[in-house]
Amino acid sequence: MNDEPKSPARVGQGMDYGEQADVQQVHAAVQREKREPRVGAEPLSIWLIAIYGLAVFFGGAYLGRYSGNFTSGGLDPMGAPPPAKKAAAGPAGAEQVAELSPHDRGKKVFSANCQTCHQANGLGVSGQYPPLAGSEFTTGGSRRMAMIVLKGLQGPVTVKGQQFGTAVMQPWDKTLTDKQIADVMTYERTEWGNSASPVTPEQIAAFRKELANHPESFSAPEVLAAPDQDLAGGAPAGGAPPKPGEAAKPGEMPKPQG
Protein backbone atom coordinates (compact mmCIF):
# COMPACT_ATOMS: atom_id res chain seq x y z
CA MET A 1 0.00 0.00 0.00
CA ASN A 2 1.16 3.44 -0.90
CA ASP A 3 1.48 5.83 1.99
CA GLU A 4 -0.52 9.07 1.40
CA PRO A 5 0.82 12.31 2.78
CA LYS A 6 -0.76 13.26 6.04
CA SER A 7 -2.46 16.63 6.47
CA PRO A 8 -0.91 18.94 9.05
CA ALA A 9 -2.54 18.79 12.41
CA ARG A 10 -5.05 21.63 13.16
CA VAL A 11 -4.08 24.03 15.89
CA GLY A 12 -6.84 25.48 17.99
CA GLN A 13 -10.53 25.49 17.21
CA GLY A 14 -12.47 26.41 14.13
CA MET A 15 -12.06 25.62 10.53
CA ASP A 16 -8.64 25.24 9.12
CA TYR A 17 -8.05 27.72 6.31
CA GLY A 18 -4.37 27.10 6.17
CA GLU A 19 -3.43 29.82 8.68
CA GLN A 20 -0.14 29.51 10.34
CA ALA A 21 0.05 29.10 14.06
CA ASP A 22 1.32 32.63 14.65
CA VAL A 23 -1.58 34.18 12.73
CA GLN A 24 -4.05 32.22 14.83
CA GLN A 25 -2.36 33.45 17.95
CA VAL A 26 -2.78 37.08 16.82
CA HIS A 27 -6.45 36.52 16.10
CA ALA A 28 -6.93 34.96 19.52
CA ALA A 29 -5.31 37.98 21.16
CA VAL A 30 -7.62 40.35 19.28
CA GLN A 31 -10.67 38.37 20.34
CA ARG A 32 -9.63 38.70 23.96
CA GLU A 33 -9.71 42.54 23.69
CA LYS A 34 -12.88 44.44 24.72
CA ARG A 35 -15.28 45.42 22.03
CA GLU A 36 -15.26 49.06 20.96
CA PRO A 37 -18.30 50.96 22.24
CA ARG A 38 -20.86 52.08 19.68
CA VAL A 39 -20.94 55.78 18.83
CA GLY A 40 -23.77 57.64 20.62
CA ALA A 41 -24.30 55.00 23.26
CA GLU A 42 -21.73 56.32 25.75
CA PRO A 43 -23.15 57.44 29.13
CA LEU A 44 -22.91 61.20 29.94
CA SER A 45 -20.50 62.30 32.60
CA ILE A 46 -22.11 63.31 35.89
CA TRP A 47 -20.09 66.56 35.83
CA LEU A 48 -21.38 67.42 32.39
CA ILE A 49 -24.95 66.88 33.56
CA ALA A 50 -24.32 69.11 36.59
CA ILE A 51 -22.89 71.90 34.43
CA TYR A 52 -25.84 71.79 32.02
CA GLY A 53 -28.26 71.84 34.94
CA LEU A 54 -26.62 74.91 36.51
CA ALA A 55 -26.59 76.71 33.15
CA VAL A 56 -30.33 76.13 32.68
CA PHE A 57 -31.07 77.20 36.27
CA PHE A 58 -29.12 80.46 36.16
CA GLY A 59 -30.35 81.25 32.65
CA GLY A 60 -33.95 80.92 33.78
CA ALA A 61 -33.27 83.04 36.87
CA TYR A 62 -31.68 85.77 34.74
CA LEU A 63 -34.58 85.89 32.30
CA GLY A 64 -37.07 85.93 35.13
CA ARG A 65 -35.43 88.97 36.67
CA TYR A 66 -34.41 91.02 33.64
CA SER A 67 -36.97 90.05 31.03
CA GLY A 68 -39.10 93.15 31.52
CA ASN A 69 -42.14 90.91 31.74
CA PHE A 70 -41.44 89.96 28.12
CA THR A 71 -43.13 93.13 26.87
CA SER A 72 -42.15 94.90 23.67
CA GLY A 73 -39.37 97.33 24.48
CA GLY A 74 -39.09 95.96 28.01
CA LEU A 75 -35.37 95.31 27.57
CA ASP A 76 -34.72 98.72 25.95
CA PRO A 77 -35.41 101.63 28.30
CA MET A 78 -35.01 104.14 25.44
CA GLY A 79 -37.47 102.37 23.21
CA ALA A 80 -40.05 101.41 25.78
CA PRO A 81 -43.38 103.22 25.55
CA PRO A 82 -44.00 105.82 28.27
CA PRO A 83 -45.85 104.49 31.29
CA ALA A 84 -49.52 105.26 31.36
CA LYS A 85 -50.61 107.85 33.86
CA LYS A 86 -52.52 106.46 36.78
CA ALA A 87 -55.96 107.81 37.37
CA ALA A 88 -56.27 109.83 40.53
CA ALA A 89 -59.01 109.04 42.98
CA GLY A 90 -61.96 111.35 42.54
CA PRO A 91 -65.74 111.47 42.38
CA ALA A 92 -65.74 110.28 38.78
CA GLY A 93 -62.59 108.22 39.09
CA ALA A 94 -61.30 109.50 35.73
CA GLU A 95 -59.10 112.46 36.76
CA GLN A 96 -55.45 112.03 35.84
CA VAL A 97 -52.42 113.02 37.86
CA ALA A 98 -51.58 116.66 37.13
CA GLU A 99 -48.46 117.36 35.09
CA LEU A 100 -45.47 118.88 36.83
CA SER A 101 -45.49 122.67 36.97
CA PRO A 102 -42.79 124.71 35.17
CA HIS A 103 -41.32 125.49 38.60
CA ASP A 104 -40.99 121.80 39.46
CA ARG A 105 -39.58 120.91 36.05
CA GLY A 106 -37.14 123.80 36.33
CA LYS A 107 -35.95 122.54 39.69
CA LYS A 108 -34.92 119.25 38.06
CA VAL A 109 -33.05 121.09 35.28
CA PHE A 110 -31.35 123.29 37.88
CA SER A 111 -30.28 120.31 40.00
CA ALA A 112 -28.76 118.55 36.97
CA ASN A 113 -26.96 121.52 35.39
CA CYS A 114 -26.68 124.59 37.63
CA GLN A 115 -26.59 123.47 41.25
CA THR A 116 -22.88 122.60 41.26
CA CYS A 117 -21.89 126.25 40.83
CA HIS A 118 -24.82 128.23 42.22
CA GLN A 119 -25.57 125.75 45.04
CA ALA A 120 -28.96 124.38 46.07
CA ASN A 121 -29.68 127.47 48.18
CA GLY A 122 -28.95 129.83 45.27
CA LEU A 123 -26.18 131.64 47.17
CA GLY A 124 -23.35 130.53 44.89
CA VAL A 125 -19.74 130.35 46.06
CA SER A 126 -18.18 133.50 47.46
CA GLY A 127 -15.60 134.98 45.10
CA GLN A 128 -16.16 132.27 42.46
CA TYR A 129 -19.79 131.87 41.40
CA PRO A 130 -22.32 134.69 41.81
CA PRO A 131 -25.56 134.10 43.72
CA LEU A 132 -28.99 133.80 42.13
CA ALA A 133 -30.98 134.51 45.28
CA GLY A 134 -31.72 138.24 45.27
CA SER A 135 -29.50 138.83 42.22
CA GLU A 136 -30.44 141.83 40.10
CA PHE A 137 -29.90 139.68 37.00
CA THR A 138 -32.36 137.06 38.27
CA THR A 139 -35.07 139.29 39.71
CA GLY A 140 -34.88 141.93 36.98
CA GLY A 141 -36.14 141.66 33.43
CA SER A 142 -36.08 138.22 31.90
CA ARG A 143 -34.36 139.58 28.76
CA ARG A 144 -30.99 140.12 30.43
CA MET A 145 -31.21 136.81 32.23
CA ALA A 146 -32.05 135.00 28.99
CA MET A 147 -28.99 136.54 27.32
CA ILE A 148 -26.78 135.02 30.02
CA VAL A 149 -28.46 131.62 30.07
CA LEU A 150 -28.57 131.22 26.29
CA LYS A 151 -25.13 132.59 25.34
CA GLY A 152 -23.18 132.46 28.61
CA LEU A 153 -21.23 135.10 30.52
CA GLN A 154 -17.50 135.73 30.78
CA GLY A 155 -15.33 138.29 32.50
CA PRO A 156 -15.80 140.25 35.71
CA VAL A 157 -19.31 140.91 36.94
CA THR A 158 -20.76 142.58 40.02
CA VAL A 159 -23.73 140.94 41.72
CA LYS A 160 -25.35 142.33 44.90
CA GLY A 161 -22.38 144.64 45.37
CA GLN A 162 -19.81 141.83 45.26
CA GLN A 163 -17.42 141.52 42.33
CA PHE A 164 -16.63 138.21 40.71
CA GLY A 165 -13.52 138.75 38.64
CA THR A 166 -13.27 135.41 36.90
CA ALA A 167 -16.95 134.61 36.43
CA VAL A 168 -17.46 132.21 33.52
CA MET A 169 -20.83 130.69 32.67
CA GLN A 170 -21.16 128.33 29.77
CA PRO A 171 -23.83 128.89 27.10
CA TRP A 172 -26.83 126.56 27.28
CA ASP A 173 -28.42 127.31 23.90
CA LYS A 174 -26.95 124.14 22.34
CA THR A 175 -27.53 121.92 25.36
CA LEU A 176 -31.00 122.69 26.70
CA THR A 177 -34.29 123.00 24.83
CA ASP A 178 -36.52 126.09 24.83
CA LYS A 179 -38.80 124.43 27.37
CA GLN A 180 -35.93 123.47 29.67
CA ILE A 181 -34.46 126.98 29.59
CA ALA A 182 -37.87 128.55 30.24
CA ASP A 183 -38.52 126.15 33.13
CA VAL A 184 -35.16 126.67 34.82
CA MET A 185 -35.44 130.45 34.48
CA THR A 186 -38.94 130.35 35.94
CA TYR A 187 -37.64 128.26 38.85
CA GLU A 188 -34.73 130.61 39.57
CA ARG A 189 -36.93 133.71 39.31
CA THR A 190 -39.47 132.37 41.82
CA GLU A 191 -37.22 130.47 44.28
CA TRP A 192 -35.17 131.55 47.35
CA GLY A 193 -37.45 134.53 47.98
CA ASN A 194 -37.21 135.79 44.39
CA SER A 195 -40.43 137.13 42.91
CA ALA A 196 -40.19 137.76 39.17
CA SER A 197 -42.27 136.99 36.13
CA PRO A 198 -42.22 133.46 34.65
CA VAL A 199 -40.76 132.65 31.24
CA THR A 200 -42.43 130.63 28.50
CA PRO A 201 -40.85 128.35 25.86
CA GLU A 202 -42.32 130.54 23.12
CA GLN A 203 -40.46 133.57 24.48
CA ILE A 204 -37.18 131.65 24.59
CA ALA A 205 -37.70 130.32 21.04
CA ALA A 206 -38.22 133.82 19.69
CA PHE A 207 -35.26 135.24 21.62
CA ARG A 208 -33.04 132.38 20.49
CA LYS A 209 -33.61 133.46 16.87
CA GLU A 210 -32.82 137.05 17.85
CA LEU A 211 -29.45 135.95 19.26
CA ALA A 212 -28.61 133.60 16.38
CA ASN A 213 -25.92 135.97 15.01
CA HIS A 214 -24.15 136.33 18.35
CA PRO A 215 -21.88 133.27 18.63
CA GLU A 216 -19.76 134.36 21.60
CA SER A 217 -20.60 134.71 25.27
CA PHE A 218 -21.69 138.08 26.61
CA SER A 219 -19.72 140.27 28.98
CA ALA A 220 -21.31 142.11 31.90
CA PRO A 221 -21.26 145.51 30.10
CA GLU A 222 -23.07 143.98 27.11
CA VAL A 223 -25.74 142.50 29.34
CA LEU A 224 -26.22 145.76 31.27
CA ALA A 225 -26.50 147.65 27.98
CA ALA A 226 -29.61 145.66 27.10
CA PRO A 227 -32.97 147.03 28.26
CA ASP A 228 -34.09 145.73 31.63
CA GLN A 229 -37.28 144.30 30.19
CA ASP A 230 -39.18 141.07 30.23
CA LEU A 231 -39.17 138.96 27.10
CA ALA A 232 -42.90 139.53 26.93
CA GLY A 233 -42.22 143.26 26.63
CA GLY A 234 -42.41 146.11 29.09
CA ALA A 235 -40.63 146.71 32.36
CA PRO A 236 -40.04 143.84 34.80
CA ALA A 237 -42.57 143.32 37.56
CA GLY A 238 -41.99 145.95 40.21
CA GLY A 239 -39.34 147.70 38.12
CA ALA A 240 -39.21 151.09 36.46
CA PRO A 241 -40.12 151.42 32.77
CA PRO A 242 -37.21 151.52 30.33
CA LYS A 243 -35.70 154.85 29.44
CA PRO A 244 -36.59 156.42 26.10
CA GLY A 245 -34.55 154.97 23.28
CA GLU A 246 -33.36 152.06 25.45
CA ALA A 247 -35.36 149.31 23.70
CA ALA A 248 -33.31 147.21 21.32
CA LYS A 249 -34.38 146.65 17.74
CA PRO A 250 -35.49 143.13 16.83
CA GLY A 251 -32.55 141.01 15.69
CA GLU A 252 -29.96 143.60 16.87
CA MET A 253 -28.10 143.34 20.16
CA PRO A 254 -27.49 146.59 22.05
CA LYS A 255 -23.99 147.95 22.03
CA PRO A 256 -22.12 148.21 25.34
CA GLN A 257 -22.18 151.57 27.01
CA GLY A 258 -18.91 153.40 26.96
pLDDT tens, position by position, 101-137: 999 999 999 999 999 889 999 998 888 889 999 999 9
Let me know: does 131 contact 159? Beta carbons within 8 Å.
Answer: yes
Which is it for strands 168-169 and 162-164: parallel, antiparallel or unpaired? unpaired
What's the pLDDT at 238? 47
Does the pTM surpass 0.85? The reply is no
Distance CA 155, CA 220 (A): 7
User: Who's near 213: CB < 8 A, 6+ residues apart?
Assistant: 251
- CA–CA distance, 11 with 161 (Å, rounded to integer): 126
- Nearest-Å Rg of the Cα atoms of the chain is 44
Alpha helices in 135-225 (DSSP H): 136-139, 142-151, 178-189, 201-210, 220-225
| Assigned CATH for 102-225 | 1.10.760.10
With beta carbons less than 8 A apart as the criterion, state whether 24 and 17 touch. no
Residues in the chain, total: 258
**pLDDT at residue 255 in the model:** 45
Q: Report d(CA 200, CA 231) in Å as an integer.
A: 9
pLDDT at residue 166, as a whole number: 73
Amino acid at site 61: A
